Chain A
Amino acid sequence: MMLGNEAIARGAYEAGVKVSVAYPGTPSTEISEFLVQYKDDLYCEWSPNEKVATEVAIGASVAGVRAMSCMKHVGFNVAADPAYTVSYMGVNGGLVIVVADDPGLYSSQNEQDTRMVARAAKLPVLEPSDSEEARKFMKMAFELSERFDRPFVYRTTTRLAHSQGLVKPEEREEIEDKPYVKDIRKTVMMPGNAKLRHVEIEKRNLELAEAANTLPVNRVEMRDTKVGVITSGIPYQYVREALPDASVLKLGMVNPLPRKLIEDFASKVETLYVVEELDPVIEEQVRSWGIHAVGKEIFTVQGEYSANMIRTAIAGEALDLAAPAQVPVRPPILCPGCPHRSVYYVLNKLKMHAAGDIGCYTLGAVAPLSVVDTTICMGASISSLHGMEKAKGKDYVKNWVAVIGDSTFLHTGVNSLMNMVYNKSAGTVIILDNSTTGMTGHQDHAATGKTLQGDPAYAIHIPTLCRAMGVRHVTEINAFDIEGLEKLIKEETARDELSVIITKTPCVLLSKAKKPLYAVRSEMCRKCGMCMKPGCPAMTRSADGAVHIDDTMCTGCGLCGSLCKFGAIELVKEGER
């Protein structure tokens, strides 16, 4: 039984991968976390971002070994620069870029379709439908990459990545390193060379498209010919569930498409449907060949599909379903004891706006903290704050700050801060340093002192890095020192110069030690509600205003106690924080 991501890692291991590089991103993170168990046979690392990761993998491929990089869909945008050009170069050792899409936006800022990006970059794409295929397709991807001299994109979605299914593991195949032969026409992409490579890769892609008609990665399942469905990935499972009698053309390679195979399949069925989540990538190509296919006129371009959706849209079944109950939503929230809550409490008290970034701390946008005003992409907090200042002047940003996590700062925040120094910003940047990549489940990074393989490493000192770039006012403070933090934020935002505040307090989930516990002394509680302001999920308030702390949830951060003016919240059990 393996998670899709575990099966991808297993397939990579079996394929003889020697170098794998990634930046964490839901739903792709676990691939690297599973791969590290094979570290005696291969090398894997966390890189600061997806562009770096992909370039490291390209270097390994040029040197002659099988290499891969892994990321989420928006990470592929960061890696777009090397990806578009390595497409021209081709490979020496097989090269695979694993990209995980997130239809339904379980943990993402957009719902883009990687197949579109890959098509624009002229990169071939494989897409598996379950865990066992996830394993097998990794091996196929490396074989095809070397056979056709093309880097491959390997696309998954959240539902594939985070579903478990049965897998039949095989032995690792030790692949001999390809010899490195200097050939700058293939590896130096200056205009004269790239022009010739463009001709070459168009030819290779045509060859691949031709081969796709017979490659076992694509499969025709002829059943009843009344309904024929072209599908791929997880939607294949929904089609099988909803239309067990329908004929299916299951595509494992979704770019380039096998035209002859599709034309042949279309000619054998009465009505042809294309069932694909997100954009009509297959449908538009099929229609452009003059084949009539039904697709997005009955299916959405948003969210995940389901068998029920197909039963209704294609089979025309009227489903007798109970209506869902109308209940309050339960959005994700900052954990009890999260150091971000304390910083946001102070910012909220000071009526500050924050240009936000990507991480757990994005949750500071919602009530009752309501501090974060913008969230765009990794690193954008710092650069967008700078843009506001240049648009409206220094005074305008005196009640604004940028908030960014430590991992995100090292990902792409550093260049944005460099820009602030260079272009004379007066803004205030708060680096919420919780010593980990929190949202994706606690991965190490360049400032934690440990590598993905578990080895000790030099920990980049973030304050020194900021000073070295020329930031003159850099202050470190404990996130739970609310008085000190309030004073510091007031001072730094009032200043006509750039400042960086680093709130250095580890993520509450990092330590497994017994935590302290706070409780309310009801006889001293004046029911003022002050302690409820930060919105700690461990605290509830009954109709009469009395406050209760849930002893199974409290982690003893003490924020509520430090807000109580009447000493009604006290430490009842010692522990470690």
Chain B
Amino acid sequence: MAAKNIMIVGVGGQGTLLTSRILGGLAIAGGYDVKMSEVHGMAQRGGSVVTFVRYGENVAEPIVEEGQADVIIAFEKLEALRYAHFLKKDGALIVNDWRIDPMPVVIGAAEYPEHIIEDLREHYKVYTVNATEEAKKLGNPKVFNLVVLGIAAQHMDFTEEQWYGVIERTVPPRTVEINKKAFQAGYHL
């Protein structure tokens, strides 16, 4: 099997690292060779962050390059737009319909683009969710990333049980239940 290429993009602090580790754990459980690449240090501080997960029979490079992503999971709209050109022509783009203004926008030096989702739909297969609102309904807005992951899971070939297994092993023990609920909400949306 050719390597499957997944990207998770968002704003530093949104939990891209945790999400990529869930995906990586899942691919290992599936018996694949796996490589992942993460961002640490200065770039994490509220900046644009991207992590890569690749799995298949044999994986060489740990990054996903332009035009090669099968799935992009975007935790924020502007970041979806920033990285959309990494998608394959038939790739899926999962977008959390959520806006976080970058500093140039906050101070009025740049404008936040309008109609991002509509524009993306013209070129790509786009699936959107307001995951932050969904997560608030569950009582914890912080688990929005698992809602988004649940939607992404609809486009990947692992069983629901496999997902729950790896979530249990990856997230902090006290948050297992709420994270599973959030994933379930996304998976059945």
Which chain B residues border A363 with CB–CB below 8 Å? Answer: 45
Minimal beta-carbon separation of A127 from chain B (angstroms): 15
Instruction: Check: B78 CB closer than 8 A to any chain A CB.
Output: yes
A107 contacts B42, C-beta separation under 8 Å: yes
Which chain B residues border A30 with CB–CB below 8 Å? Answer: 40
Instruction: Check: B149 CB closer than 8 A to any chain A CB.
Output: no
> Measured between alpha carbons, how far is A26 from B40 in the docked complex, in Å?
7
Minimal beta-carbon separation of A360 from chain B (angstroms): 6
Which chain A residues border B113 with CB–CB below 8 Å? Answer: 325, 327-328
Minimal beta-carbon separation of A34 from chain B (angstroms): 13
Which chain A residues border B111 with CB–CB below 8 Å? Answer: 328
> Measured between alpha carbons, how far is A238 from B78 in the docked complex, in Å?
29
List CB contacts (< 8 Å) of A448-498 with chain B.
none
> Measured between alpha carbons, how far is A334 from B44 in the docked complex, in Å?
10
- Which residue on chain B has the smallest CB distance to residue A3? B38
B47 contacts A331, C-beta separation under 8 Å: yes
Minimal beta-carbon separation of B89 from chain A (angstroms): 9
Given A163-B38, A165-B34: A1 and B106 interface contact (C-beta under 8 Å): no
A320 contacts B67, C-beta separation under 8 Å: yes
Instruction: Check: B155 CB closer than 8 A to any chain A CB.
Output: no
List CB contacts (< 8 Å) of B9-27 with chain A.
11-13, 24-25
> Measured between alpha carbons, how far is A541 from B103 in the docked complex, in Å?
12
Which chain B residues border A241 with CB–CB below 8 Å? Answer: 60-61
B106 contacts A540, C-beta separation under 8 Å: yes
Mostly, the B contact residues are mixed
- Which residue on chain B has the smallest CB distance to residue A5? B40
Instruction: Check: A332 CB closer than 8 A to any chain B CB.
Output: yes
Instruction: Check: B33 CB closer than 8 A to any chain A CB.
Output: yes
List CB contacts (< 8 Å) of B88-105 with chain A.
100-105
Which chain A residues border B112 with CB–CB below 8 Å? Answer: 328
Residue of A26, A29, A237 touching B62 (CB-CB under 8 A): A237
> Measured between alpha carbons, how far is A532 from B142 in the docked complex, in Å?
25
> Measured between alpha carbons, how far is A65 from B116 in the docked complex, in Å?
59
B103 contacts A367, C-beta separation under 8 Å: yes
Which chain A residues border B11 with CB–CB below 8 Å? Answer: 330
- Which residue on chain A has the smallest CB distance to residue B123? A322
Instruction: Check: B48 CB closer than 8 A to any chain A CB.
Output: yes
Instruction: Check: B141 CB closer than 8 A to any chain A CB.
Output: yes
B107 contacts A368, C-beta separation under 8 Å: yes
Tally A-B pairs: CB < 8 A: 166
Which chain B residues border A225 with CB–CB below 8 Å? Answer: none
Residue of B46, B85, B107, B141 touching A552 (CB-CB under 8 A): B141
> Measured between alpha carbons, how far is A552 from B131 in the docked complex, in Å?
13
Interface string of B55-85 (1 = CB under 8 A from A): 0000011110111000000000011011011
Which chain B residues border A323 with CB–CB below 8 Å? Answer: 85
Interface string of A201-219 (1 = CB under 8 A from B): 0000000000000000000
Minimal beta-carbon separation of B40 from chain A (angstroms): 6
- Which residue on chain A has the smallest CB distance to residue B85? A322
Which chain A residues border B82 with CB–CB below 8 Å? Answer: 324-325, 327, 330
- Which residue on chain B has the smallest CB distance to residue A438? B45
Minimal beta-carbon separation of A375 from chain B (angstroms): 12
> Measured between alpha carbons, how far is A67 from B87 in the docked complex, in Å?
46
List CB contacts (< 8 Å) of A515-560 with chain B.
532, 535, 537, 539-541, 552
Which chain B residues border A541 with CB–CB below 8 Å? Answer: 106
Instruction: Check: A319 CB closer than 8 A to any chain B CB.
Output: yes
A332 contacts B12, C-beta separation under 8 Å: yes
Given A324-B82, A331-B47, A333-B45: A163 and B37 interface contact (C-beta under 8 Å): yes
> Measured between alpha carbons, how far is A440 from B25 in the docked complex, in Å?
25
> Measured between alpha carbons, how far is A548 from B78 in the docked complex, in Å?
20
Instruction: Check: A318 CB closer than 8 A to any chain B CB.
Output: no
A26 contacts B37, C-beta separation under 8 Å: no
Which chain B residues border A328 with CB–CB below 8 Å? Answer: 78, 102, 104-105, 110-113
> Measured between alpha carbons, how far is A1 from B59 in the docked complex, in Å?
13
B40 contacts A441, C-beta separation under 8 Å: yes
Instruction: Check: B145 CB closer than 8 A to any chain A CB.
Output: no
Most chain A CB inside 10 Å of its own CB: which residue of B25, B34, B44, B103:
B103
Given A165-B34, A166-B28, A319-B67: A535 and B103 interface contact (C-beta under 8 Å): yes
Given A106-B42, A162-B39: A321 and B105 interface contact (C-beta under 8 Å): no
Instruction: Check: A103 CB closer than 8 A to any chain B CB.
Output: no
> Measured between alpha carbons, how far is A541 from B100 in the docked complex, in Å?
12
Which chain A residues border B41 with CB–CB below 8 Å? Answer: 26-27, 106-107, 439-441
Which chain B residues border A262 with CB–CB below 8 Å? Answer: none
> Measured between alpha carbons, how far is A3 from B24 in the docked complex, in Å?
12
Which chain A residues border B24 with CB–CB below 8 Å? Answer: 1, 164
B102 contacts A331, C-beta separation under 8 Å: yes
> Measured between alpha carbons, how far is A64 from B132 in the docked complex, in Å?
57
A324 contacts B85, C-beta separation under 8 Å: yes
A367 contacts B109, C-beta separation under 8 Å: yes
> Measured between alpha carbons, how far is A164 from B33 in the docked complex, in Å?
11
A333 contacts B62, C-beta separation under 8 Å: no
List CB contacts (< 8 Å) of A208-244 with chain B.
234, 237-238, 240-241
> Measured between alpha carbons, how far is A130 from B54 in the docked complex, in Å?
14
B103 contacts A366, C-beta separation under 8 Å: yes
Interface string of A385-399 (1 = CB under 8 A from B): 000000000000000
Which chain B residues border A321 with CB–CB below 8 Å? Answer: 66-67, 85
Instruction: Check: A306 CB closer than 8 A to any chain B CB.
Output: yes
Which chain B residues border A164 with CB–CB below 8 Å? Answer: 24, 34-38, 62
Which chain A residues border B107 with CB–CB below 8 Å? Answer: 367-368, 535
Instruction: Check: A159 CB closer than 8 A to any chain B CB.
Output: yes
Instruction: Check: A335 CB closer than 8 A to any chain B CB.
Output: yes
A166 contacts B33, C-beta separation under 8 Å: yes
Which chain B residues border A332 with CB–CB below 8 Å? Answer: 12, 42-47
Instruction: Check: A329 CB closer than 8 A to any chain B CB.
Output: yes
B46 contacts A165, C-beta separation under 8 Å: no
B46 contacts A537, C-beta separation under 8 Å: yes
Instruction: Check: A412 CB closer than 8 A to any chain B CB.
Output: no
A537 contacts B43, C-beta separation under 8 Å: no
**B interface with A by C-beta (< 8 Å):** 11-13, 24-25, 28, 33-48, 60-63, 65-67, 78-79, 81-82, 84-85, 87, 100-107, 109-113, 123, 132, 141-142
Besides A1-B25, A328-B104, A537-B101, 8 other A-B contacts (C-beta < 8 A): A163-B35, A164-B34, A164-B36, A166-B33, A237-B60, A238-B61, A328-B111, A330-B79
Q: What would 5 A/B residue contacts be, using CB atoms closer than 8 Å? A: A3-B38, A164-B34, A165-B35, A330-B47, A439-B42
**A interface with B by C-beta (< 8 Å):** 1, 3, 26-27, 29-30, 106-107, 130, 159, 162-166, 234, 237-238, 240-241, 306-308, 319-325, 327-335, 360, 362-363, 366-368, 439-441, 532, 535, 537, 539-541, 552
A-B CB proximity, top 3 nearest: A26-B41, A107-B41, A332-B47
